[in-house]
Chains A and B, each alone.
Chain A
Amino acid sequence: MNLSKILKNVFLVVLASLVLTACATQKQTGKIQGDVYTGKDTVEYLASGVPDRVFFATNETVLTTASRETLRKQAAWLRKNSKLNIVLEGHADERGTREYNLALGERRANSAKDYLMTYGISSDRISVLSYGKERPVDSGSNPLAWSKNRRSVSVKAN
C-alpha cells in the first residue's frame, strides 16, 4: 500500500467522521433527543435557575432524567416559598385526537405532580389543568415544534 493510498484512506475516514459529527451537532442544535425537546427556546423561569417546564416524548407521560432534575429544582423552590401554590398545565401536540389529548395532558401534568409530591410538596399546593392540544407554544407543523408543545408547565397560582 503506498503512501498516497494511506493518505487517501485517512482522508476518507476523517471526512466520514466530520460528516457524522456534523449530523450529531445538527441533532444537538435541533434540540431533540430521541423524541423529547432538550432546548431552552420556550422555557421560562420561576426563579433564577428554576425552569418552569418539562417535555415529553410522543404519546408518553414518563419523565426523562432532565425532567426529573427540573422538577427537583421546582420542589426545592416550592419548599423555600412555602406560601406559593402552583398549577401544572399539561399539554399535547397537535398530532392526536382532541379528547384523547385532553386526557394525555392531564396525565402528563399528574406525572409532574406525583414527582413533586415525592419531594415533599403537598398535593394541596398543586392543582392540575389540562389544555390538550389547545395551547401550543409553537405553531409549526414539524417534529421540533411538536416536541416543544408536549409539555407540563408549572405556573404560579397566587
Chain B
Amino acid sequence: MLFRYLLLLLLALLPIKSFALIEVDITRGNLSPLPVAVSPLSIDVKSEEGFKKILMIENLGSEISAVVENNLKQSGLFNPLNKDAFLQKPDIAHLKPRFEDWNLIKAQALITGKVSLVDEKLRVEFRLWDVLGGKEMMALAFTTVPSNWRRVGHIITDKVYERLTGEKGYFDTRIIYVAEEGPKTKRIKKLAIMDQDGFNNKFLTLGNELVLTPRFSPANQMVTYLSYFKNLPRVYLLDIETGTQEVVGDFPGMTFAPRFSPNGKKIIMSFAQDGNSDIYTMDLENRIVERITDHPSIDTSPSYSPNGKYITFNSDRSGYQQIYVMESSGKNVKRISFGKGLYGTPVWSPRGDLIAFTKLHKGKFYIGVMRTDGTGERLLTENFYQEAPSWSPNGRVLIFYRETKTNSKGEGFSAKLWSIDLTGYNEKMVDTETDASDPSWSSLLGN
C-alpha cells in the first residue's frame, strides 16, 4: 500500500520536473515575450536541388523555419531573434549547439532542424533546446509529401508552443470566412478558406449568391453556412474535402445562424417564420429535427458548450438583445448578461469556462468575454463596428471582423479580420486578399 502510494507520488512529480526548464507565462499577456532563436533548418545540396525542381523553392529549410518564426512572433508570446546575430551554422547547431553562443544573443530557447528529400518525400527533423539549461527539450521527425511543407512549419510551431506553454497550439489550422468586394449596397460575397497565417487562400464559391456566417465543425472538415441560393436563405452543409453541398433540413422559411454540436453530428440554427425566430437542431445522421426554444421573441446565434450539455444564445425576450444559457434540451433558460447595452453572438470557449460575445453600448461595439454564469465580464476591444468572435481551438485567441465608418459621401467602407489574445493584448489585423468578414477557426488539422 505504501509502495503504491509512493509510486503514485513519483508519477505525479515526474512531469512537473521535466516542465521546470523554460516557462512562458501565458496568463498575463505578452509583456515580455520569450526570446527564441529559430535557426534555419539545414538542408544538403542534393535535397536542395530536388526541392527546387519539385516546389520551385530556393531553400526549403529557410522557408520552413520562416513559417515557424512568423507563427511564434504572431502569437505575441515569443520574440524570434534576428538571424544575422546567429553565430553557429544550422547543420552544426542541429547536432550540438554551442549554448554559450546562443546565450550571448539572449536566446532562451533554440529551434534547429534538418530537411531532406527521401524517396520523393519531405523528411523534417527538429529539436527544441533549452539554452540556459543546456539541454535538449524535444526531438521529432516527420515525413510527408513535399507540397505539405507549410503544414510542417505549423506542426513544429504547435509542438514548440505546447512544450513551452503547456497548452495545445493553434497553428496547424485554417480559417473559413466570407470574402467581400464591391460597393456596400451591392456587396459580392464568397466563401473563402486560408491557413491560419493567411497563406493558401482559396475561394469556395463564385459569388453568384449571397453567402454568410460559415462555421467549421469542431470535429472534422465540414462547414455549415447560410446561402441565398435561388433567393431562399437556407442553411447549407459543405464538405471541404469533396466540395459537396447540401441544404440542411426541409424548412418552409429562412434558416440561419448555424453551428455544429461539439461532436459534429448535429446542426443548431434558427428558423424564422411569421416574424418569429426560434432555435432548432437537426441530427445529420437520422435527419430528425428538434425544436429547442418556443418563444415569441427573436432567439438566435446559438452555440453549444464543449461538453454538449448547454446552449448559449441571444434573445430579445427581455425587450432587448441579451445573452442566455439553457440546457441542450431547451429547459432552464437563464439570462446571463446584465451589463449596460445590448449583447449578441455568444460563443462558448473550447475550454468551456468562458463565453465570448459582441456588445453594443452608446454607439460603440465591443468584443468581450464573461464566465458562463455571466460574471467576470471583460471587454477586450472597442470600435465603431465589430462582431462575431470565433475561438482558436485552444481557447487562447479570438478572431472577429471589423467594419469602418463611411464618410458623408458613403465612401471609405472596409471589412477586415482582426485577432486578439484572450488577455486583451496582441490585437492585430489578419491580412486577407479581399475584404473579409464572418471568420471561423478550424480545429487542429491533425486531429
A: residues with CB less than 8 A from B are: 59, 61, 94-100, 102-104, 106-107, 109-111, 114, 128-130, 134-142, 145
* B212 adjacent to chain A (CB < 8 Å): yes
B334 within 8 A of A: no
Q: Which of the residues B187, B256, B320, B387 comes within 8 Å of A102, measured between beta carbons?
A: B256
In the complex, the answer to whether A134 meets B387 with C-beta atoms within 8 Å is: no
B344 CB within 8 Å of chain A: yes
Q: Is the CB of B320 within 8 A of A97?
A: no
Q: How far is the CA of A129 from the CA of B275 in the complex (A)?
A: 11
Is the CB–CB distance between A145 and B410 below 8 Å? yes
**Given A95-B385, A99-B301, do A107 and B185 touch, yes or no (CB 8 Å)?**
no
Complex interface: chain A residues within 8 A of B186 (CB)? 135
| Interface membership of chain B positions 368-404, coded 1 if the CB is closer than 8 angstroms to chain A and 0 otherwise | 0000000000000000110110000000000000010
Of A97, A109, A136, the residue contacting B301 (CB under 8 A) is A97
* A136, B345: Cβ atoms closer than 8 Å: no
CB distance from B310 to the nearest CB of A (A): 19
* Interface residue? B135 (CB, 8 A): no
Assess whether B183 is interfacial by the CB under 8 Å rule: yes
Collect the chain B residues with CB atoms within 8 Å of residue A141's CB: 384, 405-406, 413
Interface centre among B213, B321, B403 (most CB of A within 10 A): B321
A103 to chain B, nearest CB (A): 4
Query: 19 A-B residue contacts at CB 8 Å?
Result: A94-B385, A96-B360, A97-B314, A97-B321, A97-B387, A98-B212, A100-B321, A102-B256, A102-B257, A103-B272, A106-B275, A106-B277, A107-B298, A110-B274, A114-B275, A134-B187, A139-B183, A139-B185, A139-B411
| B408 and A99 form a contact (CB under 8 A) | no
Q: Shortest Cβ distance from B65 into chain A, in angstroms?
A: 40
Q: Identify which of A61, A100, A128, A140 contacts B408 (C-beta below 8 A).
A: A140
B410 x A107 contact (CB < 8 A)? no
Contacts of B360 in A (CB 8 A): 95-96
Docked-complex contact B408 and A107, CB < 8 angstroms: no
Nearest residue in A to B187 (C-beta to C-beta)? A134
- For A138, the chain B residues whose CB sits under 8 A away are 185, 410
**A93, chain B: closest CB distance, angstroms:** 11
Q: Is B276 an interface residue (CB 8 A)?
A: yes
Whether B337 is near chain A, meaning CB under 8 Å from some CB there, is no
Q: Which residues of the other chain, B, contact A129 by a CB distance below 8 angstroms?
A: 231, 233, 254
Q: Does B300 contact A (CB under 8 A)?
A: yes
Mask, B217-261, CB within 8 Å of A = 1, is 000000000100001010000000000000000000110110000
In the complex, chain B residues whose CB is within 8 Å of the CB of A110 = 274-275
Q: Tell whether B157 is near chain A: CB-to-CB under 8 Å.
A: no
The 6 closest A-B CB pairs, nearest first, are A110-B275, A139-B410, A139-B184, A97-B344, A103-B277, A141-B405
How far, in whole Å, are A141 and B405 apart by their CA atoms in the complex?
6
Q: Is the CB of B184 within 8 A of A99?
A: no
* Contact A102/B385 with A59-B320, A97-B301, A130-B254 known, Cβ cut-off 8 Å: no
Which residues on B sit within 8 Å (CB–CB) of A137? 185
Residues of A close to B438: CB separation below 8 A:
98
